[in-house]
Amino acid sequence: MKKEIINIEGMTCASCSSHVEKALNKIDGVEKATVNLTTEKATISFDPNKVDLFKIKEVVEKTGYGVREENAIDDVQLIKEKQLKALKIKFLIALIFTIPLFYIAMTPMINTIKFPFPKIIDPMSKPLNYAITELLLVIPVIIVGYKFYTNGFKAIINRSPNMDSLIAIGTSSAVIYSLYNTVLIANGNMEAVDLLYYETAGVIITLILLGKLLEEISKGKTSAAIKKLMGLAPKKAIIIQDGVEKEIPIADVKVDDIVVVKPGAKVPVDGIITFGNTSIDESMLTGESMPVNKKINDNVYAATINGNGVIRFKATKVGHDTALSQIIKLVEEAQGSKAPIAKMADIVSGYFVPIVVIIAVIAFVLWFIGTGDLGFSLKMFISILVIACPCALGLATPTAIMVGTGKGAELGILIKGGEALEITHKVNTVIFDKTGTITEGKPKVTDILVVDGIDETKFLQLVASAENGSEHPLGEAIAKDAHNKNIELLDVSHFLALTGLGIEAIVNGANILIGNHKLMEKHSIILNVFENKFNELSEAGKTPMYVAIDGKLSGVIAVADVVKVSSKEAIKKLHQMGVEVVMITGDNKKTAAAIASTVGIDRVLSEVMPQDKAFEVKKLQSENKIVAMVGDGINDAPALAQANVGIAIGTGTDVAIESADIVLMKSDLLDVPKAIELSKKTIRNVKQNLFWAFAYNTIGIPLAAGLLYLFGGPLLNPMFAAMAMSLSSISVVTNALRLRK
């Protein structure tokens, strides 16, 4: 099977992507096709022996949508920016013409307040001027909103009506009916001036354009995350060629080349060390803050940073095969996969539009047969379509989502668009990354134990002075602790970093050794006094180090990545909400278990490689769980993109933030349960809005069809139909605004 991703143009709602997806899955030879509305991409697995990519693209075009050829990431960003700018201009043009149109339409109806009104277009004395002015004002609005008509009617022709279809039918009905009445006015029927609904079309188009604009602004810049990931890899590499070091472009590095990496430089490709010892900062890949000691036959990975030693390694994976490239690929695939959300209004509109049209046609035919009056029957037809105008339906979801996301921003919870907000209320499993999420991500001194007779302050002064020359995060944590306690550091006359062991230094004439068992054994230092305590600290997930001064064990100093203050309370609240909490980390089982027991997590996924984090998310999703992933590192980006909802910590990397659906700006884990609660309240509000939007139509459509008139009751005039439609819009917006409280 072959897998391809193609770009699709012209999709505006869930029913569009659903229609394309169904068409693609019907093709003989296509195993599976998923269409993502947000990324505007289709991911297709197909048998190249049965069908080719040309045929697949042809099917997309036959469904009424376009196929855009793949561009470079910069080009895609440029296209998106141009589209956003064009949408802003369209909205402003629509607004400029809709404001006077609305004023002209509404002012004559308000007799009690004397607003200034030009006599030349007075509806009582100059009705034709009045009608033509409204027509001239609505034309530019219709022109800037032309895509609603082209997409909407095309969708009807393709038997897949969508939200654009509702907008197109609703506004077209208002305009056609108004044009009909303008002709009547021109023929001397002055009463027809009360039956103009040009402003209805203008206001609907302007409001929908505003919604589209806000939706585009809130969309995550998916390609920016991938662009940043690509920027991590170095552009050049040094290889050994004919016994001489030579700098070449990274694209020219081949498998089995011998690559040289100097201290502080980035590793260009994946490989196995053949010469040298060093420590490598793999935090951009694994998320773990502690550098990893490396020796001959150990693996190194592209984009990680070499520490204090020169190494040579044999390239094993280059180009698209490196671990970093695999992470980039995972982010692209996860972002391109189908979101498990469908807009409620779009689903209902698939049934609603044809039903309304059928009712309107049936009513028209029956009344024409019964009365023989074409004008009367047409009035019934138009009344049904006007009252079924999608203004409330179009506003129901976006208004609640706009208010919900606005409230989230006030609370420091940035939600990237409606989809994230819609799915978050269903979350029943939250995965937390450990480092930088549950923990601070910065090592701190947690324990200082000294031999009897040794002053703790003097002990810390000597240890911190020795470690001050180290670039290792553990050493930096000790030096920082001394600085915070206002301890003055002493001069160091000798310093040596011993890879895999610790450090050796001479401070103020004293010989200092700081490190592990092996370092102490190498110098024949007896450890009996603190050996049990050392093991206890290790069990607790801390990193303890022995300290020997002038050949004698003097104490133990322990450093750990401490748990955030809010972690335990946040996890407790999630448990109270019935949400399962999982911790995922690249750290060892012992350290992971210690942190998990501290904060109350029952399920731990430890020693998980970066490329496997997204796979672990997939495994949970395969258990029919709605998963939210909370992380802060580059290594979390694929998992954040794969999860139903990706939640990034605001202090995390740009890539993590851009891959996520929700960003917690305060880096407070208590905002995770807050985000879920906000989503629940917003979705409840959306459902209420949709209920009221349809309630007006359910009651109004039979009235517009003349049901009461048939039994001697009143006839619903299109003017009252438009009023009912306006009331439904007002109730929807008012209800959405309650979320602000």
Parse the chain into domains and list their residue ranges.
2-70, 80-218, 234-321, 339-411+680-741, 412-438+564-677, 440-563
Q: Tell me, what's the pLDDT at 332? A: 57
Task: Give residue for tokens 């000790």.
Answer: 478
Catalytic residue among 164, 257, 270, 433: 433
CATH architecture of 440-563: 3-Layer(aba) Sandwich (3.40)
Residues 590 and 568 sit within 8 Å (Cβ to Cβ)? no
DSSP of 559-621 = EEEEEPTTHHHHHHHHHHTT-EEEEE-SS-HHHHHHHHHHHT--EEE-S--HHHHHHHHHHHH
Confidence of residue 557 (pLDDT cuts 50, 70, 90): very high
Q: How many CA atoms lie within 13 A of 509 on its CB side?
A: 0
Instruction: Check residue 233 and report its DSSP letter.
Output: S
- Residue 94 predicted with pLDDT over 80: yes
Residue 581: closest CA among 425, 411, 423, 433:
433
Describe the strand order of the beta sheet including 2-9 as a list of residue ranges. 30-36, 41-46, 2-9, 66-68
Q: Say if CB 735 and CB 741 are below 8 A apart.
A: no
- CATH architecture group of domain 412-438+564-677: 3-Layer(aba) Sandwich (3.40)
Tokens 């984009």 correspond to 303
Least confident of 23-27, 86-90, 387-391: 387-391
Least confident of 296-300, 460-464, 469-473, 668-672: 469-473
Give the whole-angstrom CA distance, residue 196 versus residue 389: 15
Average pLDDT over residues 148-162: 80
Percent of the chain exceeding pLDDT 70 equals 81
Phi-psi region of 550 (alpha: psi -120 to 50; beta: other; left: phi over 0): left
Task: Tell whether pTM > 0.75.
Answer: no
Please tell me the predicted confidence (pLDDT) of residue 465.
Answer: 93
Q: Which of 88-97, 279-288, 391-400, 559-568 has the highest mean pLDDT?
A: 88-97
Average pLDDT, integer, range 523-527: 89
Distance of alpha carbon 6 from alpha carbon 40, whole angstroms: 9
- What pLDDT does 34 receive? 79
Higher pLDDT, 162 or 421: 421
Rounded Cα gap, residues 443 and 384, in angstroms: 68
Q: What does the pLDDT read at residue 632?
A: 77
pLDDT bracket for residue 337 (50, 70, 90) = very low
The whole-chain average pLDDT of the chain stands at 81
Q: 234-321 has which fold?
A: 2.70.150
Q: Which residues contact 638 (CB under 8 A, 6 or more apart)?
A: 327, 330, 331, 334, 610, 611, 613, 614, 659
Instruction: Give the pLDDT of residue 549.
Output: 93
What residues are paired with 415 via a beta bridge? 662
Mean pLDDT of 668-688: 87
Pairing between strand 292-294 and 278-281? antiparallel
Q: Picking from 151-165, 501-515, 528-542, which range would have the lowest pLDDT averaged per residue? A: 151-165
Helix, strand and coil percent figures for the chain, each rounded to 5: 55, 20, 25
Q: What's the CA gap between 417 and 653, in Å, rounded?
A: 20
Tokens of 497: 């970093």
Length of the chain: 741
Q: Which of 631, 676, 674, 660 is nearest to 431 (CA)?
A: 631
Q: What is the distance between the alpha carbons of residues 38 and 335, in angstroms, rounded to a whole number?
A: 9
In degrees rounded to 5, what are phi and psi of residue 622? Answer: -70, -15
What tokens were used for 44? 């297709």
| DSSP strand pairing (580-584 vs 429-433) | parallel
pLDDT band at residue 400 under the 50/70/90 scheme: confident
Please give the residue that has the higher pLDDT: either 232 or 553: 553
Helix (H) or strand (E) holding 150: helix 146-157
Burial 664-688 (b: 16+ CB within 10 A, else e): bbebbbbbbbbbbebbeebbebbeb
For residue 685, pLDDT over 50 is answered with yes
pLDDT at position 709: 84
Q: Looking at residues 72-80, what average pLDDT do you find?
A: 58
* Per-residue pLDDT band at 137 (split at 50, 70, 90): very high
Which residue type occupies 291?
P
Q: Where does the pLDDT of residue 577 fall: very low under 50, low under 70, confident under 90, or very high at 90 and above? A: very high
CATH architecture of 2-70: 2-Layer Sandwich (3.30)
d(C-alpha 216, C-alpha 206), whole Å: 15
Which pLDDT tens digit goes with each residue over 31-51?
A: 988 776 656 778 888 998 899
pLDDT band at 539 (very low <50, low <70, confident <90, very high): confident
612 in catalytic set: no
Cβ-based neighbour number of residue 184 at 10 Å: 18
- Identify the sign of the CA torsion 566, 568, 569, 573: positive
Question: What pLDDT score does 342 carry?
Answer: 38
Under the banding of pLDDT at 50, 70 and 90, the label for residue 334 is: very low
List all residues 6 or more positions away from 398 whose beta carbon is below 8 Å from its beta carbon: 211, 214, 215, 418
Distance CA 88, CA 472 (A): 50
Measured in whole angstroms, the distance separating CA 263 from the mean position of its chain's CA atoms is: 37
**223 against 562, higher pLDDT:** 562
Determine which helix (DSSP H) or strand (DSSP E) holds 683, and give its type and residue range.
helix 671-704
The pLDDT confidence band at residue 338, using thresholds 50, 70 and 90, is very low
**Token pair of 73, please?**
């990431």
**What is the rounded average pLDDT of the residues 240-258?**
91
Helices (H), 448-559: 456-467, 473-484, 517-522, 531-539
Rg (the chain; Cα; Å): 34
